[in-house]
Amino acid sequence: MWNEAWPRVRVWEYVASGVSYTGVLALELSGRPIEANWEGNFLLDFAVRDAVGTRDPDAVSAWALVSDIPYFISLAYPTLDALVVAGLVWGDWDVAWQMIAMGLEAYAVTIPLIFVTQYFVHRERPYSRFCDSEDPHADCGTSQETQSFPSGHVALASTAAGLTCAHHSRLPLYGGGAGDVTACVTSIGAAVLTGVARIAVDSHYLTDVLVGLGIGAFAGYAVPVLLHYGMRTGQAAPRPATARARRAGVRLAVLPLMRGDTLGVAAFGTLD
């Protein structure tokens, strides 16, 4: 259940998020410059790219799947957590909505940071070095070629990881303990794996990925913690009564159970 000491998402936050999304849309519709203003190596970028990257078509296809699967799953995970676990299992739609609203707010910070930075910093992607070869990348010569910094995929996946860790460190969504810790650690792993895959397919350099991870960690974890949860990591107490749903004369109680490292659900009820 929601700790009443935590501020709920306020009107000004909804307004600010709406303004943020509108501004990004306007910037995107204005068109992005194509000419690069940042080329070449920075720190260990070339060394890491040469160690991890590949131009083998089969390897690129495999790494693309490694990039996309955890990326899309991680983006959906915080919302599914809110709707299925907080809403349906625990029956607390107030908590579910606060989780969703904090997610919208976090992405309203991440997305402008990505788009505005890419709009002014036109860094060539790693595959730009091969655009004059016999097998150039499909995006050579387009605005996509100069949108390497920062990594949007990694920033969004890292935002999802930050949200997951913020929620599970304050709310015992999986009963507290190992289940909630596992959700956080797994989501961080998905963001890191997305970053490695983006380097491997020649879409980003190491520094692009590191900055993306930093943006996501700030927006996904720091923003909800600073604005809502507070700095203490202790979890709120779970709802003392079981979650209840009434549908067509059926009274149903659903109770999440944690036994060891295994998460389960017990359901019982009466039919009127």
135 vs 65: which has the higher pLDDT: 65
pLDDT tens for residues 19-64? 999 999 998 888 887 888 898 888 899 999 999 988 888 888 899 8
Q: What's the fold here for domain 11-30+40-240?
A: Vanadium-containing Chloroperoxidase; domain 1 (1.20.144)
Work out the average pLDDT over 97-102: 98
Domains of the chain, by residue range, sit at 11-30+40-240
Determine the residue type at 235: Q
Distant-in-sequence, close-in-space partners of 40: CB < 8 Å, separation ≥ 6: none
- pLDDT (0 to 100) of residue 241: 43
Residue 264, pLDDT > 90, answer: no
User: Which range has the worst mean pLDDT, 96-110, 168-182, 240-254?
Assistant: 240-254
Q: Per-residue pLDDT for 272 more than 80?
A: no
**Interior CA angle at 46 toward 43 and 47, to 5°?**
85
pLDDT band at 142 (very low <50, low <70, confident <90, very high): confident
pLDDT tops 50 at residue 82: yes
